[in-house]
Structure 1
C-alpha cells in the first residue's frame, strides 16, 4: 500500500513539472510520458505510450535518440541539444538531461527530462541566417578555466561597440569568437561581414574594403566596399596584419572619423560599423617587424582577447572530439560512440600545432576510414597523422616526459633560454636567490631537481621568470620583450607559476 501511495505521489509530481519527462524501458518502449512532453512534441500520450520511440519519432542524427543512447551506452548526459521530427514532420528541438536506470548491474531503461527550445532555435536560425553568422557563444566547446575566462571576457565585450582584437594561433577559433561577439551584441540583427586580408592582393583590397566610384580606374563602377556593406553591423578583418601599411593608415582614419571615402571619390560617407580584427602572431612582434602599425594596434585593441592554443587546454580535447564525432556521424551516416583509450592518450600526448582545426581534420580523416565500427581507434587515423601521434605517445611514455606535459615545447623553451643565458654569461643577480641557473647545463639543472618531470619543468620556468624580472626591476613589459612573449601571455604564466613582479621592484 505504501509503495502504491509513493508511486501516485511521484506520478503527480512528474505531471506537474514544467519540463517534459519521457521514460523508456530497456527495449526502447515508452512507459511514461507526461503532459508537458506531449505539448512539446505535439503528440497525444496514447500515441506514444506502449510504442517504441523510434517508431513514433524520426531522428536524423545517426546516433539516434538520446534516450536510446543512454540505454545502449549506460551513460548519463546533461544539457544535450537534440533536433528530431514527430509523425507530422514537425521539427522539435529540446535540451535534454538523460539518465540510464540501472539496478544490480542491469539496465532497465532510461529517463529524460527535456526543455523545449524549438521557438528559440527557430528565431535564432532566422536571425543568424539574415546576418551571415553561423556561431554563437553556445558553439564554443570546452570547460577549461583558461577558455572559459576568455569566453567571459568576450561576452562582456559583446555588450559594447568597442573594437576588439582577437589574438590567437592558426586554428584556435578566432572567427568563432568574432561571430559569437556579433551574435550576442545589439548589432546581431545587422550584417556580419568577414574578409580574410591575406586572401586578396593588395591592389584589389583597397577597392574591396573602401568601395569604388565610377571612373576611378578603367572599368570601375559605383560599388560600396565592405565597410559600407557592414553598416549597422560588424566587419571582421581576419589577419589584419596582412594589410599593407598604406591600407592600414586608411583603415585607421575610418576608425577615427567613422566615415569612409570610396576610391576615386572626394566625399566622405558616414558609417556605423563595429570593427573586429584577428591576428595570428604576437602583435608587438608584428609592430616591431613593420607588419602592423602601432597606432592601428591601439585603436583595434580597445578589447584584446587572447585565445589559448589547444596544447594549453588539453582537458577540452575529449569534449571536442565528442562534438566532432556527433557531427560527422550525421554527415557520414555512421554510429561511432567513443574513442579507444589509446587514441585518447595519443590525442592528449600530442601538442596540436594546428590547434582545434587540426584535431577536427584528424577526427574527420579517421572517420572516413571506418566501416561499421562503433569505436574510433588509432589505427583509423591516416598514416601521416598516425605517425605524429605515435611519436607523441613514445615521447610521453619515456620516464623523462610523462603524458600530457608537452615535452617538445618545454624542451624548446629551455634550449632557447640556454642560448640567451650563455650569451649573457654570469648576469644573474641577487634576485635569483644565489642559484647559478644560467651557468649550468640543462641536463645538470634537471638532474639536480627532485619530483616529477612536470615539477622540474615548472621550477625551471619559474626560475627563468624570477631571473628576468629581477634584472628588469619587476618591469613586466621589459620582461615580456626579453622572453618573446606578449604581455598578456606573460601575465598568464606569472599567475600560473605564482611569481609576483612586485617583489622585484626597487
Structure 2
C-alpha cells in the first residue's frame, strides 16, 4: 500500500459480512463497506471524507478508532455501544489495527461485528477446524474409524452414556475427534430430534460468553435487550461445551450452578428459567493438570465428568493408521474427483515415525493436501507431501508409549505435583473402599462422586476390590 487514498485494493472488503472502515491518520474515513453501511444505516456517500467524530456521537476518547490512532496500537475484541449522528444505535465488537507505511502512521482499519448477529449465528456455527463435509445428523458411532481396543472402549462408553441424562466429559488432544464423539452421542440419544448446539469456549470473546450462553435482560447494560441464551434455546436438546478449560473460572462457577439446578438466569435478570439439557463438554489437556494450573475448577470437573471418556491420540493407536489412510483417500477421491488407490511404502513408513501433534485431523489434511497435487498418479508419493513431512526423516523420533489417563511424563516442573496428587487420590479411594467393605454405592456416596466415576478411577489406578471385600 503506497497511498491510503488509492482504494483499489480495498474492493476485496466490499462483500465482507463484517463492517470495514478505513481512515487516514487524522481519523477521516476513506473506505466504508456495505456491511457497516447496513449496521449504521448510513449511506456510503454521507460518510466518505468525513471524520469519525463527525459521523458518530463519539469523541477522541470514546472512539475506538481514534484511540487506536492515538496509541498506535491494535485494539482487539472491544465491545462498544454507540450512536451515529443520525440517531441509529449499534451494539458491536471492534477490532482496530493501525496502518503504517515505512514506520509512519498513515491510518487505521476497523472490522466491526454486530453483537446481535454474532449471538444469533453462534449456535449454527460449526466448530473451527472440524469436518464440515457431512450433515451433522449423519454422524454416528459407525462413522468413527478405529479398531484399537482402547479406542473401541471409548466408543462403547460413549454409546452407553448416550442413553442417560448424565453429563459426559471428553478428554483428548486437538484433532482426536471430540466433536465427532459429541455429535454421535447426541444422534444416538433420545434427544436426537432436538437441537444440538456446539460452543467453542476458546473462540468466543470472554466479555460476550456469559450473555451468549445465558442470555441477556433488557437494561442489564447499555443496549441490552431481552434475548434467550444458548442454554435456554437448546433446552430438551444437547449442548457441547468444547474446550471448557478455556472458559474463565468465574463463569465456570455459574455453569456449575446452572447444571446443578437445571436453571439459567439471564444477565441482569432475577428470574430463573428451567432448562433440560444433555451436557457434553471437552478438555484438550489432562484435567488434573488443568485443575493444578487453575484453568479448570475441580468441582466443575467432578460434576461434568460423571462419565469421563479419554480419546487417545493417534500416536497411541498407530494400528488404526492404515484404516484411517484408506478412509481419507476414499473420502477425498469423491470430493476432489481423483482416483488415488493408496500411499507408497515410503510414505507409510514416514507416517509411522511421525508424532502427529494434530492427530487424526492432521492426517486427513496431509492426505488431502497430497491429493490436490497428485495429478493423475494413483499412488501418493513422498514428493506430494508438504515440506515439513518431506524433511521429517531427518528429525524423526520414536512415538511415545501409550499411557493411561492421569499419568504424566516428566517433561515439566509440575509433574511431581501431579504424581503426588494422583497418589493421594488413589490412597483416598483405597481407604474409602476398605471402610465400606468394597461396596461401590456406599464408597461413591462417601467420596461425593458418581458410581461411574468411581468405577473409572478404580480402573485407572488398577485398584483391586478383593482386599477391601475380605
TM-score normalised according to structure 2 size: 0.59
Residues 476 and 501 in structure 1, CA contact (< 8 A), matched pair in contact too: no
Q: Report deviation, 1:494.
A: 7.1
- Post-superposition CA distance 1:47-100 (Å, at most 9, x none): xxxxxxxxxxxxxxxxxxxxxxxxxxxxxxxxxxxxxxxxxxxxxxxxxxxxxx
Cross-structure match for 1:346: 350
Residues 261 and 268 in structure 1, CA contact (< 8 A), matched pair in contact too: yes
Secondary structure of the residue that 2:309 maps to in structure 1? strand
- Larger radius of gyration, structure 1 or 2? 1
Cross-structure match for 1:221: 225
Aligned with 2:289 (options 278, 285, 292): 285
Cross-structure match for 1:162: 166
Q: Report deviation, 1:339.
A: 1.2
When residues 371 and 417 of structure 1 are mapped into structure 2, their CA distance, relative to the original with a 3 A threshold, is closer
Secondary structure of the residue that 2:240 maps to in structure 1? strand
Residues 134 and 179 in structure 1, CA contact (< 8 A), matched pair in contact too: no
Secondary structure of the residue that 1:151 maps to in structure 2? helix
Secondary structure of the residue that 1:236 maps to in structure 2? strand
Residues 245 and 295 in structure 2, CA contact (< 8 A), matched pair in contact too: yes
Partners of 1:383 and 1:373 in 2: CA distance: 19
Cross-structure match for 2:366: 362
1:54-203 alignment to 2 at 5 Å? 133-203=137-207
Partners of 2:173 and 2:154 in 1: CA distance: 15
Secondary structure of the residue that 1:150 maps to in structure 2? helix
Q: Report deviation, 1:473.
A: 12
When residues 332 and 419 of structure 1 are mapped into structure 2, their CA distance, relative to the original with a 3 A threshold, is closer
Partners of 1:418 and 1:280 in 2: CA distance: 17
When residues 348 and 287 of structure 1 are mapped into structure 2, their CA distance, relative to the original with a 3 A threshold, is same
Partners of 1:297 and 1:134 in 2: CA distance: 30
When residues 345 and 170 of structure 1 are mapped into structure 2, their CA distance, relative to the original with a 3 A threshold, is same
Q: Report deviation, 1:488.
A: 10
Aligned with 2:328 (options 324, 328, 332): 324
Query: Which structure 1 segments of 5+ residues have no match?
Result: 1-127, 397-404, 424-464, 479-485
1:319-468 alignment to 2 at 5 Å? 319-389=323-393, 391-392=395-396, 406=400, 416=410
Q: Which runs of 4+ in 1 moved over 2 A?
A: 388-392, 405-409, 413-421, 471-478, 486-495, 499-503
Query: Which structure 2 segments of 5+ residues have no match?
Result: 1-133, 431-452
Partners of 2:248 and 2:296 in 1: CA distance: 8
Residues 231 and 273 in structure 1, CA contact (< 8 A), matched pair in contact too: yes
- Post-superposition CA distance 1:385-429 (Å, at most 9, x none): 22125532xx56xxxxxxxx54899xxx999489999x9xxxxxx
Secondary structure of the residue that 1:148 maps to in structure 2? helix
Partners of 1:382 and 1:336 in 2: CA distance: 17
When residues 420 and 289 of structure 1 are mapped into structure 2, their CA distance, relative to the original with a 3 A threshold, is closer
Partners of 2:325 and 2:143 in 1: CA distance: 14
Secondary structure of the residue that 1:275 maps to in structure 2? strand
Secondary structure of the residue that 1:143 maps to in structure 2? coil
Residues 182 and 280 in structure 2, CA contact (< 8 A), matched pair in contact too: yes
Cross-structure match for 2:238: 234
Partners of 2:246 and 2:252 in 1: CA distance: 9
Aligned residues: 306
- Post-superposition CA distance 1:227-285 (Å, at most 9, x none): 01211100000011111122111111111111111112111111111111000111111
Partners of 1:472 and 1:298 in 2: CA distance: 17
Partners of 2:285 and 2:274 in 1: CA distance: 32
**What is the root-mean-square deviation in Å for CA atoms of aligned residues?**
3.6
Partners of 1:382 and 1:339 in 2: CA distance: 14
Cross-structure match for 2:302: 298
Residues 349 and 406 in structure 1, CA contact (< 8 A), matched pair in contact too: no
Partners of 2:205 and 2:223 in 1: CA distance: 18
Partners of 1:293 and 1:193 in 2: CA distance: 23
Between Structure 1 and Structure 2, the one with more helix by share is: 1
When residues 352 and 236 of structure 1 are mapped into structure 2, their CA distance, relative to the original with a 3 A threshold, is same
Partners of 2:401 and 2:288 in 1: CA distance: 27
- Post-superposition CA distance 1:433-492 (Å, at most 9, x none): xxxxxxxxxxxxxxxxxxxxxxxxxxxxxxxx9xx99x98984989xxxxxxx9999988
Cross-structure match for 2:249: 245
When residues 378 and 280 of structure 1 are mapped into structure 2, their CA distance, relative to the original with a 3 A threshold, is same
Partners of 2:241 and 2:346 in 1: CA distance: 40
Matched, 1:309 2:338: no
Secondary structure of the residue that 1:278 maps to in structure 2? strand
